[in-house]
Amino acid sequence: GQNIDQPTEMTATEGAIVQINCTYQTSGFNGLFWYQQHAGEAPTFLSYNVLDGLEEKGRFSSFLSRSKGYSYLLLKELQMKDSASYLCAVRPLGGSSYKLIFGSGTRLLVRP
């Protein structure tokens, strides 16, 4: 089966660091995406991991462990505008790899 788990909600303080976890069980794996989605807006691409390790991009970093079926998104120096939902999506292997499998998203609230 296909299953992606993320925490439903998280709260953090402006200026702090927050880590949003994602675990997945899918039939084949060909990459993992993180998207940010502000309420009422489009999901916007943040990061992509296909090999184990950490990918850093400014204040955002994403980590992947394929053996553990685990990823996290790390947000540093939190800003109020980072309040949004963060979506973890897995690209399966094979001919249907375009069918991204999404978790339910993690709603992050950044407090002053």
Partner 1 sequence: NAGVMQNPRHLVRRRGQEARLRCSPMKGHSHVYWYRQLPEEGLKFMVYLQKENIIDESGMPKERFSAEFPKEGPSILRIQQVVRGDSAAYFCASSPSPVAGGLGDTQYFGPGTRLTVL
The residues of the shown chain that bind partner 1, judged by CB under 8 A, are 4, 30-31, 33, 35, 40-45, 48, 50, 87, 89, 95-105
**From CA 101, how far away is CA 78, in angstroms rounded?**
27
Nearest CB to partner 1, comparing residues 40 and 58: 40
- Note the residue count of the chain: 112
- 75-79-45-52 Cα dihedral, nearest 10 degrees: -10
Cβ nearer to partner 1, comparing 51 with 112: 51
Looking at the Cβ atoms of 39 and 81, the one nearer to partner 1 is 39
Smallest distance from the beta carbon of 37 to partner 1, in angstroms?
8
Residue corresponding to tokens 């069980």: 25
d(CA 49, CA 11): 25
Shorter beta-carbon distance to partner 1: residue 1 or 40: 40
Q: How far is the CB of 81 from partner 1 (least distance, A)?
A: 17
* Helix spans in the chain (H): none
Rounded to a whole number of angstroms, the minimum distance from the CB of residue 48 to partner 1 is 6
